[in-house]
Structures are given as structure tokens and as C-alpha cells.
Structure 1
Amino acid sequence: MSRHVLLRYLSGTLFMRVMFCCVVLVGLLEILALLEQTTPILQRHLGVRGILSYAGMRLPFLLTGSLPLSVLIGALVMLTQLTLSSEIAILRACGLSTIGLYVRLIPATLVIGLAGVVMDDQFTPRSEQALAAWWNRTDPQPDQGRAFWFRDNGRVLRVGYVSDGGNMLTRIDIYTRGPDGLLTQALHAQRATYTGAQGWTLHDVTSVNVHDSKVERPAPLADSPWPTGLRPADFIRLAADTPPLSTTTVLGMLRGRLPSDSTPAYLQAGLLERFLRPLSLLVLLLLALPVIYIPPRTGTRSWLPVWCLGAGLLFIIVQGLLRAMGNAELLPPALATVPGLVIFTLGALSILIRSETR
């Protein structure tokens, strides 16, 4: 019974510290984001309601992004408080080892990590999609949006810019290739509009057909239906630089069922990183554990929490650098995510073993 009481106490304390740090970090990030976006929001005459809408739709993204740092800081604060109040010394006197302490902190860390995975997989893509559509729909100058390319069912497409929340496209180029990879048709439309009942309609269409090294130029068409399964939400997603993607969307892209402007290596690395997130939080918890060895006489003057915080930040930076190299296809997806976990875990374990044998 006492073991369960200790487990609830330690895990509950860690959970509350992490949630408090997460609320503080998200609040700061929201303020910084609003300082940058309040002027454009007010220029679009969206008022206070627009500011609150922006903050609400941005919240899931900020929550998932702040979880690693929140776990690191929350664990450091909790363990430092337990050490300075002699609670760690009492637990050691009762026979609790360092490994036993770590094991009792794992449940709360895994719960936070799994909640982060669910948030990143289900809530963040939907909220960012809604935010991008709302931002595009209220844009008074959509023609300043960037052009983008993507692949869809053996075709290569280019869109000049998206407007009206994805319901209108401008300057569409569609290049169709045959089974041998050679160009068979190039179609150009000045714009495309979407209606739920009729789907997409291309306007001011010109095309060039290539068959057996012969080029045909059909007569231009004022309007032409566009038989595609793409929806306005797909174009909003493709127009964004690095939109969050759900697991279902990533798998659809990898299998060729959904349009994609990302390489398979980028998608695989993102998927692997998402499901390894609980393990990365466990590594951050392990990096914070050496603060229990703060000498009693040193107290708050000890530099050990600072070194642990630096090690955790270095881990986050290294993971980001490896992921960037994976995105650039300089490393395979596995090497862009796993080595950092292994290296920092071994480093933290060596420090703990050295501290135990002193």
C-alpha cells in the first residue's frame, strides 16, 4: 500500500509541476504570438473576436511544442524542492534507490507523453488547418501568397496562390505523365473555383497534348470541370510551409493516396519522431535526475540544476538538428531520431552511476 501512496505522491507532484510550467510557457508564447499578429488582425477588421479566435486555434500547437521544455523544467523544480527539503534523504533512508525514484516518476511522464502524441496527431493538425483557412479567407491581399508545387496520382501540379479559404485557386498548371514517365499533357488554367455540389471548375483553360512525339493544341475552353478528389482543405494544407500532419494523412501521402509536397524521408522522420516523443520525455526526466545529489550544505547555491537544465536544452537542440538533417535527406529517418535518445540516455546513466559511487 505504501508503494502505491509513494507512486501517487511522486507522479502527482511531477504532473502538477509540469502542467504549471506548461501553462506559463504557453501563456508567454501566446503573448509573443499576439504581439506579432495583433496588428494584421486589427487591419483586417476582425476585432477582439479575431484576436481570441487566433489565440484559441493556435493553442494546441503551442501546447505540443512546449511539452518537452515543461517536462524538463517541471522535473528540475520538483526534484530540487524534494532535495532541499530533505525529502530525498528521507526516501533514501527508507530504502528507495535512484532507480526506484525514477521508476515512480515514469507513469506521469508517459501520461504526459501520450497526451502530447494524441494532441499532436489529432488536435494540432485540425486547429492549424482551421487557422490557415481562416487566415486565408480573411486575407485582403491573397495574391501575395506563395506558389507551390505538389504531386497527385502521377501528376505534377503548380498553383499560383490560394484564396477564399481554399475555394479559389489562381494560375493552375497540371502536368500529366504516362506510365513511362514522359509528359502526355500540359494544362493551364487562369483560375479554379470550388462548389460543394459541382466540385472544381477550371476557367480560361488552355492545354497541350503530346502523343507519339506529336503535339496537339486543342481549342481553349472558357470553363471545364476538373475531376479531382482534392478539397479546399488540401490546398490550404499544401500552401502552408510545414503544416502539422496527422498519422492518417502521413500514411496516405506515403502510399500515394493523398497529394504531397514533402519527401518520403521527411514524412517518415516526422512519424517516427511523434511516436518516440514519450521516450524523449523519459530521457529529459533522466537528465534532470542528478539534481537529487545536490550537497546538503550547498543548497540553492549549487550549480547542478543549471548543468542539468543545460543538458536538457542540449538534448532538445541536438534532436532538432538531427531532425533537420533527416528532413534534408542527409540522414535516414531512424538515424535522425534514435541516436540522440541513445547517446543522452547513456550520458545521463553514466553521470548517475558516477554520483552513486562517490
Structure 2
Amino acid sequence: MTNAFINRLHAQAHRPRHVLISYLSVSLFGRIMICCAVLVSLLEVLALLEQTTPILQRHLGARGLMLYVGLRLPFLLSNTLPFAVLIGALVMLTQMTLSSETATLRAAGLSTLGFYLRLAPITLMLGFMGVILDDQIAPRSELALATWWNRTDPTPENGHAFWFRDTGRIIHVGYVANGGTRLGAVDIYTRDAQGSLTGTLHAAYAEHTSAAGWSLHDVSSLSVQSLVAQEHAPQASIPWAMTLSPTEFIRLAADRPPISARLMLARLLGRVPSNDTPAYLKAGLLERLMRPVSLLVLLLIAMPVLYIPPRTGSRSWLPVWCLGSGLLFIVIQGLFRAMGNAGLIPPFMAVLPGLIIFTLGALSALLRNETL
């Protein structure tokens, strides 16, 4: 009986803390979801303004419009999540401060650190949701969108040409058609272990069937030995030992599509053909790993609005400064990432400096307000 009574007392003592965490988490989550919905809706409308004419010209109709919107949704959600976390946190904390909820909680003994620690779990959860969107959902939806768009293209020969590496070969593809099952103007350059050219092959087009796999048509080739080129007889059709599926060629033809961490690692280790640089892949892996941490930094940047002076109220410029700082953080992270993609700085320098600089800046602002 005594142990049961003591356990009940402990449960009652901890209940207010759990209630406060639930209240703050639900409030923050709701505002972030509203911000996500508004931002994604605006981006969808802007995308439709650009793509409605091509969709209707392909006679895809209203169903094509709805399919485009649905397949584009995960990618837009992933990209707008940092902005939504920043704006949602600013709105919630500003409303709590102006309505004296913050003052009441401070009088009850809740510090700024306590606010942050009670908002951190929902922010981390959203960060992991963002990682799942980036790593699993968005790559699949974007690949499905690119495949559908390519399959319905009436003029695929005007499509995007691209290069990629496949072990000792460098391959150029003129365009992709029929959802990836037909490739136009395929050029294959083979090299030895020292990187010297050993042969070239040109095919007018390549086709894929489920039964026979890939085959090259209208083939001309030559081999190079001791700096002497020897041309071979043209061939009407030959099998092509290519392990990539038609959808993978759609992915290679796209301009920097989102890909999973597993595919990044496979490309980085040379297990699958790739058209990305090692610097781009390393920076992408590290950025995906640090996605929850970046959302925690954005939450920290929003925390100074808890110090809005009571007399100032809604006329305070503090939310504007916090919003500007958060947007600057997102821009700086994008700038560092671009330099990392280009190989100008190491991958860890493309991700970590912005997190460290803005974390220290936000902590300095909070400590300054604490001492005023």
C-alpha cells in the first residue's frame, strides 16, 4: 500500500511537466503545419502557372494537373520545412509573450532553457520526419514525376544530354525517351587502369526490353592500342551489358534530383554508375545527417522573442530581427553547400560552420537579454 501511494505521488508530481511539454509541442506542431501548408500551396500554384500549358498541350487534362501536384508535394514539403519551423516557432513564441503566457510560466520558475528543452523533442521529431522525406519519399516521387513527364514528352530528342561514369567507362547519352526504355545517341569511351583511352563505341540509339535487357543499334566502334586506332566493321545490333534500369537513366538525365543516402553511398563507393562528384555526395550525406540539428538551430534563433518588452508589445522589431537571422542562416547554409558541391571547401566545412556560427550567435543574444 505504501509503495503504491508513493508511486502515485511521483506520478502526480511529474504530470504538470508532461502536460506543459504536450501543450507546447502541440502548439508548435500545429503552427508549423499551417506554415507548411501555406508555403507549399504558394509553391504549387507558382509551379502550376509554369507547367499548366505544357501539361494541357500533352492532352493530359485535369488528371495530369492533379498528378503533377501530388508527385511534387513531398519535394516541396521537404524544402519548406526549415522555413516553416522558423516562422511557426516565431509565431507561437511571440503570441505567448504578448498574451503574458511567457510571464506566467517564468513566474512559475520556467527558464528560457526550460522553454527550449520542452520544444526540442517536437523539433527533433520534425527533423527526423524531414530526413525520411528527403531520403525515402521525395526521391521516389521525383523519379515517378520525371518518368511520367518523359513518357508523355512528344519531342524527347530535345531532352537533356548527360555524362556518367561506369567503372572503367565514360558514357554519354544524347536523350532519354519512352520513360527510359529508349536512349538516343549513345557514346561509350573505355579506359585502362591508367586512364588512357582504349576504345570508343557509338550507337544511334539503345533500347531496353524486359526479356533481352539493353541492346545497342547501328553501332560503329574502334579500338586504340599503342596510340594506333583501328576501326571495326559496323554492326546493326549488339547486346549491351548495362546494369542500370530505365528509371535509373531517368534519374541520371534529371538535373540534381533528390536521391537516397543509400544511393549516395553506393555512388561514392563506385558500386553504381554516377554523374555526381564525390564532393557533392559527401556534402549531401553530411547535410542529411545534420538535418535535425539545423532545425534545432532555427528554434534557438527564434527564442529571443521571449524577451519582447511588455510596453513594446506588437510594435517590437525583435521578431523581425529573429526572422531575418533565420533566413540568413538558411542562405548561408545554402552558400556553404554550393561551395562544398563545387569542391571549393571540404564537405564538413560545407555543413558545420553555419551551424556553429549561428548557434553561438543565438546563445550570445539570449545571454545578453538574460543579463539586461
**CA displacement at 1:298 relative to structure 2:** 1.0
**CA displacement at 1:357 relative to structure 2:** 0.4
Counterpart in 2 of 1:292? 306
* Equivalent residue runs for 1:296-311 within 5 Å: 296-311=310-325
Instruction: Report the Cα distance in structure 2 between the residues aligned to 1:131 and 1:238, rounded to whole angstroms.
Output: 14
Counterpart in 2 of 1:241? 255
Counterpart in 1 of 2:242? 228
**CA displacement at 1:275 relative to structure 2:** 1.2
Aligned pairs, number:
358
Instruction: Report the Cα distance in structure 2 between the residues aligned to 1:77 and 1:215, rounded to whole angstroms.
Output: 69
More deviation in 12-21 or 45-54?
12-21
Counterpart in 2 of 1:274? 288
The residue identity in structure 2 corresponding to 1:123 is I
Counterpart in 2 of 1:74? 88
- 1:199 matched to 2:213: yes
Counterpart in 2 of 1:90? 104
Instruction: Report the Cα distance in structure 1 between the residues aligned to 2:315 and 2:196, rounded to whole angstroms.
Output: 70
Instruction: Report the Cα distance in structure 2 between the residues aligned to 1:87 and 1:145, rounded to whole angstroms.
Output: 57
Counterpart in 1 of 2:139? 125
The residue identity in structure 2 corresponding to 1:65 is N
Instruction: Report the Cα distance in structure 2 between the residues aligned to 1:79 and 1:88, rounded to whole angstroms.
Output: 8
Aligned partner of 1:169 among 183, 197, 201: 183
Instruction: Report the Cα distance in structure 2 between the residues aligned to 1:237 and 1:113, rounded to whole angstroms.
Output: 26
Query: What is the SS of the residue equivalent to 1:146?
Result: coil
**What's the TM-score once normalised by structure 2's chain length?**
0.95
Instruction: Report the Cα distance in structure 2 between the residues aligned to 1:201 and 1:328, rounded to whole angstroms.
Output: 35
Counterpart in 2 of 1:314? 328
Instruction: Report the Cα distance in structure 2 between the residues aligned to 1:301 and 1:210, rounded to whole angstroms.
Output: 75
Structure 1: gaps (5+ residues): none
Instruction: Report the Cα distance in structure 1 between the residues aligned to 2:38 and 2:229, rounded to whole angstroms.
Output: 63
- 1:37 matched to 2:40: no
**CA displacement at 1:153 relative to structure 2:** 1.4
Query: What is the SS of the residue equivalent to 2:348?
Result: coil
Instruction: Report the Cα distance in structure 2 between the residues aligned to 1:191 and 1:67, rounded to whole angstroms.
Output: 42
Aligned partner of 1:56 among 70, 89, 98: 70
- 1:326 matched to 2:340: yes
* Equivalent residue runs for 1:170-185 within 5 Å: 170-185=184-199
Query: What is the SS of the residue equivalent to 1:335?
Result: helix
Instruction: Report the Cα distance in structure 2 between the residues aligned to 1:71 and 1:118, rounded to whole angstroms.
Output: 16
Query: What is the SS of the residue equivalent to 1:180?
Result: coil
**CA displacement at 1:147 relative to structure 2:** 1.2
Structure 2: gaps (5+ residues): 1-14
Q: Please list the CA deviations of residues 173-193 of structure 1 after superposition, one character each: whole Å capped at 9, or x if unmatched.
A: 001111222111100000001
Aligned partner of 1:101 among 109, 115, 132: 115
Aligned partner of 1:340 among 351, 354, 357: 354
Aligned partner of 1:17 among 31, 43, 47: 31
Instruction: Report the Cα distance in structure 1 between the residues aligned to 2:288 and 2:113, rounded to whole angstroms.
Output: 26
Instruction: Report the Cα distance in structure 1 between the residues aligned to 2:303 and 2:227, rounded to whole angstroms.
Output: 69
Instruction: Report the Cα distance in structure 2 between the residues aligned to 1:336 and 1:45, rounded to whole angstroms.
Output: 44
Query: What is the SS of the residue equivalent to 1:3?
Result: helix
Aligned partner of 2:276 among 254, 258, 262: 262
The residue identity in structure 1 corresponding to 2:292 is P
Instruction: Report the Cα distance in structure 2 between the residues aligned to 1:248 and 1:341, rounded to whole angstroms.
Output: 25
Query: What is the SS of the residue equivalent to 1:243?
Result: coil
- 1:155 matched to 2:169: yes
Q: Please list the CA deviations of residues 56-109 of structure 1 after superposition, one character each: whole Å capped at 9, or x if unmatched.
A: 000000000000000000000000010011000000000000001100000010
Instruction: Report the Cα distance in structure 2 between the residues aligned to 1:13 and 1:158, rounded to whole angstroms.
Output: 52
Q: Please list the CA deviations of residues 127-175 of structure 1 after superposition, one character each: whole Å capped at 9, or x if unmatched.
A: 0001001111111111111211110111100001111111100110001
The residue identity in structure 2 corresponding to 1:266 is Y
Q: Please list the CA deviations of residues 331-351 of structure 1 after superposition, one character each: whole Å capped at 9, or x if unmatched.
A: 110000000000000000000
Instruction: Report the Cα distance in structure 2 between the residues aligned to 1:241 and 1:212, rounded to whole angstroms.
Output: 38
Instruction: Report the Cα distance in structure 2 between the residues aligned to 1:33 and 1:99, rounded to whole angstroms.
Output: 41
Instruction: Report the Cα distance in structure 2 between the residues aligned to 1:142 and 1:243, rounded to whole angstroms.
Output: 19
**CA displacement at 1:305 relative to structure 2:** 0.5
Q: Please list the CA deviations of residues 278-311 of structure 1 after superposition, one character each: whole Å capped at 9, or x if unmatched.
A: 1000000000000011111111111111110000
The residue identity in structure 1 corresponding to 2:18 is H
